[in-house]
Amino acid sequence: MVMKKGFFRWLPILALTTALSSNFYQNHDDIAQARNSRRVSNGFAFEIQNCNKDNNSVVCTFMVANLGEVRDLYFYPKDSIIIDSTGKQLKGSRCIIGAISPGDQAYMTDMPSRVPINGKILFKGNLPGRIVYLRLVGSNFSVEWR
């Protein structure tokens, strides 16, 4: 009997741990785990770092590098989309490239060659399922992850 009491005493903690880890997994969809997370479009290389969900938004962080000569990068978050496993789709709303303030579009003039730059995109809204598709769009690139 003592053994059962000891086991049952830990059961609520085990259940809570399982629930928390399940919630953590759901709130930290990591599309970067997809095979070949690096994508190249028009001489720009993109690599997804992660996508984090909360109740009313999704924030995806990424790195971008210019593989060619020094040139400009224009990024349009409103043309970028994210889709979850239930089929729900959100359009991007704000973005940041390097130290550029968040806005409806981001641009980096004279982007140096082969220097990775941090970026973030915000999708407003709730995605109930796992993230299964992400597309980032700019004036001179379009990249997607599945």
Does residue 65 lie in a domain region?
yes
Highest mean pLDDT among 2-16, 35-49, 71-85: 71-85
Which residue range is the domain that position 53 belongs to?
Answer: 31-145
**Torsion (CA) 98, 79, 62, 29 in degrees, nearest 10:** 140
Strand-pairing partners, residue 121, are 60, 95
Q: Within 10 Å of residue 96's Cβ, how many Cβ atoms?
A: 19
Does residue 125 lie within any of the structural domains?
yes
| Residue 39 is assigned to a structural domain of this protein | yes
How many domains is the chain partitioned into structurally? 1
Of 104, 87, 88, 106, residue with least CA distance to 96: 106
Which CATH number belongs to the domain containing residue 43 in this structure? 2.60.40.1240
pLDDT in tens, 91-132: 999 999 887 666 667 888 899 999 999 999 999 999 999 999
Residue 5 forms part of a structural domain: no
pLDDT level of residue 36 (50, 70, 90 thresholds)? low
In a domain, 94, yes or no: yes
pLDDT at residue 24, rounded to an integer: 38
- Token pair recorded at residue 77: 């978050």
Tell me if 119 sits within 8 A of 101, measured CB to CB: no
Look at residue 1 and tell me if it is in a domain: no
How far apart are alpha carbons 130 and 30 in whole angstroms? 9
- Does residue 95 sit within a domain? yes
> For the chain, what is the radius of gyration of the CA atoms?
20
Residue 18: pLDDT band with limits 50, 70, 90: very low
Instruction: Identify whether 21 is part of a domain.
Output: no
